[in-house]
A and B are shown apart, each in its own frame.
Chain A
Amino acid sequence: MAEPILEVKDLRTYFYTEAGIVKAVNGVNFRLEKGQSLGVVGESGSGKSITALSVMGLIKPPGKVVSGEILLQGQNLLKKSRKELEKIRGNDIAMIFQDPMTSLNPVLRVGEQIAEAVVLHRKVKRKEGWNVALEMLKKVGIPEAEDRIRRFPHEMSGGMRQRVMIAIALSCNPKVLIADEPTTALDVTIQAQILDLIRLLQKDFETATIMITHDLGVVAEVCKNVMVMYAGQPVEYSDVTTVLEQPKHPYTWGLLSSLPKLNASEKQRLTPIDGMPPDLGNLPEGCAFAPRCPHKKPVCERQEPAGKWLNPGHFVRCHLYEA
């Protein structure tokens, strides 16, 4: 296997709330190679965003990364000082957020919001920063970029704002791009455009991408590998084809059967997984998915599955495959 650009080992991020310790990320492992794309899927609340923010070093109290390693080209980001992290954020790792309506500063011009990152990391003059900003706006497909660059966010639509966010994220040519549900807040037609754009730019810039989504359809379109998360842990990991065609974990089966199929008849109903995700502040003993699992065995409620590599590229955390 090639040297990974980003490798995350046994990452744990907890929130120390008054109600107790919320284990939002509870032992996440993955690796990402140059130009590769990893999909992270799971229901809302499964710890996808917190994983991403942990990698960015943006976890705030009462949250804390309690253990693990985040290796960017072999260097552990968790050991870096704040100053060192500031040099890496936005430069080597960039992030696009879910809601473009609130993610841009309402009182700063769009051009400035792109240019400031360039000025900071490239150490260029402000004017040069704005030139790069203009170039980026054109690259992300914003029409009349010369005019738009001087506009404020509220003068643009959601889709346009998400393009601006992408421009900001890619302006310093990062090695890793984390896109946290970049299309969830957008109209369906715009969603497809934004996905196409990300896919195109990812090739162009050779950026390794982590695509967070709760939509396996998006993963199928954009990603090479998939990590399925449940209750702060990866429960299945493999390449897209394997996960979509030969999934092993009961939770993945559930996710897949709740996916609308292109060739299915109109009347075929979605079958969402029964029950609710567990309370991360009060996890059940044994497997976190057991209470909802249609295939559970007595052992599932006693003992946490350790997880197993079925073959070199396919990881599953389930008692069906243990021993």
Chain B
Amino acid sequence: MIITLFFIVLIAFVINFVVPGNPARTIAGPKASPEVIKAIEEKYDLNKPVYVQFEHYFVNLLHGDLGISYRTNETVNSELRTAFPKTMYLGFSVFFLNVLIGVPTGIYAAIKRSKFMDHVILISSLVGTSAPTFWIGYILLFIVGYKLSLLPIGGYGGISHVILPALTVSLASAAGYVRVVRTSMLEVLGTDYVRTAEAKGLSQSTVILKHAFRSSVIPLITYAGMDLGTLMGGLIVTEGIFGWPGIGQMAVTAINYQDMPTIMGVVLVAAVAVVIANFVVDIIYALVDPRISY
């Protein structure tokens, strides 16, 4: 895990350096004198060689210190502390919607295999996956938020605020859930043990929910785990559209200002979140599937 982190930091660092532009100049503003810029470079170590900067950063990181934002002069730690929970809140809402939309739709498509509704669902899910997140976001924003005025068009808040941004991310990723659930359900529905369950006289709903779905949960968990990275990306774009003050918006602002410590902080937190979530996925596996033990 430490090694994973090390490489994430390294890659993020390198990317920051190959991007053109001088952070000191950006911080100081276009009219600043060379002396001011020099002072700023001193303050933030920008005049040192890359590897020194990297070492410096990594040592601080091991102490849990992500540095100070060039833009706001606040510690990145404290900014992340307010922003990250908001992203988590949005993220969990998305996950909740994914399950709520994806699982029943996938099961329904599997039962209606090759019938009209199955085709409708498959085509919609294809559209869902291929449509860009920002496009879905603006359409929802325009129709539901602006034209119909049903929900707030942006900002942070309770359920009414979270629905639109969560739906924006979810429409794309729930489509993936639908297809995974459908495929694994079709596979499970053809197994011998589902036939055994039917031979016992269990009702169709018991056969599907108790016997078939339980086994097809495992591919779904795998998929949800693999989808986490994409989900993170979707969150960042969507936060920008809806003015959701999470780490996504933080990152967008930071990139505009070449605020390197903040960019690095966001990248790290996002990466760590994905790594931890994957770890949780492994634990859930063992809980769901008795054949797996660690």
Contact = CB atoms under 8 A, between A and B. Distances in A.
Given A104-B193, A104-B196, A106-B215, A86 B291 contact: no
A255 interface: no
B201 A86 contact: yes
Nearest to B189: A60
Contacts of A89: 198-201
Contact of B290 (A86, A102, A152, A165): A152
B192 interface: yes
B200 A107 contact: no
B195 interface: yes
B176 to A, nearest CB: 23
B201 A154 contact: no
Nearest to B196: A103
B196 A105 contact: yes
B220 to A, nearest CB: 13
In terms of DSSP, what is the predominant structure of the interface of chain B? helix
A95 B196 CA distance: 8
Given A107-B289, A154-B290, A120 B201 contact: yes
B201 A97 contact: no
Contacts of A120: 200-202
B214 interface: yes
A152 B201 contact: no
A152 B288 CA distance: 12
Contacts of A87: 201
A58 interface: yes
A89 B200 CA distance: 6
Given A89-B199, A89-B200, A168-B196, A102 B191 contact: yes
A58 B197 contact: no
A91 B202 CA distance: 10
Interface residues of A, number: 30
A13 to B, nearest CB: 16
A108 B211 contact: yes
B205 to A, nearest CB: 11
A58 B202 contact: no
Nearest to B199: A95
A105 B201 contact: no
A117 interface: yes
B193 A106 contact: yes
Interface centre among A82, A88, A95, A99 (most CB of B within 10 A): A95
A41 interface: no
A87 B200 CA distance: 9
B193 A90 contact: no
B215 A105 contact: yes
Interface string B184-213: 000000011101111111111010001100
B215 A86 contact: no
Contact of A117 (B191, B201, B289): B201
Contacts of B199: 56, 58, 89-90, 94-95, 97
Nearest to A169: B199
Contacts of B211: 105, 108
Nearest to A121: B201
A113 B214 CA distance: 14
A82 B206 CA distance: 14
Contacts of A82: 204
The winner among B191, B199, B214, B291 for most chain A CB atoms within 10 A is: B199
Listed from nearest, the 8 A-B pairs whose CB atoms lie closest are A90-B201, A89-B201, A90-B200, A102-B192, A117-B200, A152-B290, A105-B193, A103-B192
5 contacts: A87-B201, A102-B192, A105-B215, A106-B289, A113-B196
Interface of B: 191-193, 195-204, 206, 210-211, 214-215, 288-291
Given A97-B196, A105-B196, 6 more contacts: A56-B199, A86-B203, A89-B199, A103-B195, A117-B202, A120-B201
